[in-house]
Amino acid sequence: MKTPISIAVVAALLLVSRLALGGDHCLSDDAIEAHADRSENLHLEFARAYGRSAGLPDLRQLRPSPGEMHVRLWHGFGVTRAEALVLSRTSAKWAAHVVAPVGGSGCYERREVPAGADWGLIWQRIEALGLAALPSQPARDPNVDVFDGHSYVLEWWMNGRYRAFVYDNPDVFRTPEDARMAAIARELIGAAKGN
């Protein structure tokens, strides 16, 4: 016969084993928000949690490596769940993946983008659009609230340097910086889709 104490012990063991094995990586948006670091932008917190769910390392924790670069462009966050294009360059070799939600589970999966895009050339176009000169967050009118729009989070890591860009609803605010981020996103997403 099971006692309440033995049931509690089994439940605690299951919880500890789940946490130790990383089984808590498929969190709902509500759970991500509840555990968010309030010093960070919430869109960025969502992007990092979705990345963990897909098995992506935290770019802020990577050690410097000459010639290595990682770019993650997350887009959506409103009515649709966010998806990402993940680019990695090691020396002159590029790899691209799409990260997308798996049903309504809170989990994300990573799928390789078939070879075809010249990512080196595309990255030159991204640089020409002025990514390095963009502010991490554009100025916003505090009197304007937008809900369920389309936003971008771009994480960029190169040789130990990390930057994050959060552009909420650029199609609504339409600053020059918003236009540049939208152009960068179109370039990357279009290349991943073969456009």
Residue 71: its pLDDT value, please?
A: 95
d(CA 128, CA 130) in angstroms, rounded, equals: 5
Does residue 1 lie in a domain region?
no
Which CA distances in Å does 36 have to 9, 56, 144, 182, 195?
29, 18, 23, 26, 36
Altogether, the residues listed in the chain come to a count of: 195
For the chain, 195 residues long, give each residue's pLDDT as a single digit of tens. Answer: 455 554 444 333 333 333 333 445 787 666 666 766 666 677 888 888 889 989 999 999 999 888 899 999 999 887 778 889 999 999 889 999 999 888 877 788 999 988 778 999 999 999 999 999 999 999 888 888 787 778 999 999 998 899 999 998 888 888 999 999 999 999 999 888 875
Residue 31: its pLDDT value, please?
A: 67
Within 10 angstroms of residue 42's Cβ, the number of other Cβ atoms is 16
Query: Exposed, middle or buried: residue 184 (CB in 10 Å: 0-12, 13-18, 19+)?
Result: buried
Residue 15: its pLDDT value, please?
A: 36
Residue 10: its pLDDT value, please?
A: 37
Contact between 159 and 45 (Cβ < 8 Å): no
Contact between 75 and 82 (Cβ < 8 Å): yes
Beta bridge partners of 69: 89, 158
Percent over 70 (pLDDT), the chain = 81
Contact between 165 and 137 (Cβ < 8 Å): yes
Does residue 45 lie in a domain region?
yes
Does residue 166 lie in a domain region?
yes
Does residue 7 lie in a domain region?
no
Does residue 154 lie in a domain region?
yes
pLDDT digits (tens, 9 = 90+) for 116-141: 789 999 999 999 999 999 999 998 88
Which residues form the domain of 171?
A: 25-193
Task: Using DSSP bridges, classify how beta strands 69-76 and 151-158 pair: parallel, antiparallel or unpaired.
Answer: antiparallel
Residue 11: its pLDDT value, please?
A: 39
Give the start-end residues of each E strand in 36-190: 69-76, 83-90, 93-101, 108-112, 151-158, 161-167
pTM, to two decimals: 0.79
Does residue 69 lie in a domain region?
yes
Does residue 54 lie in a domain region?
yes
Does residue 62 lie in a domain region?
yes
d(CA 52, CA 164) in angstroms, rounded, equals: 16
| CATH number of the domain encompassing residue 53 | 3.30.1560
Q: How many domains does the chain have?
A: 1
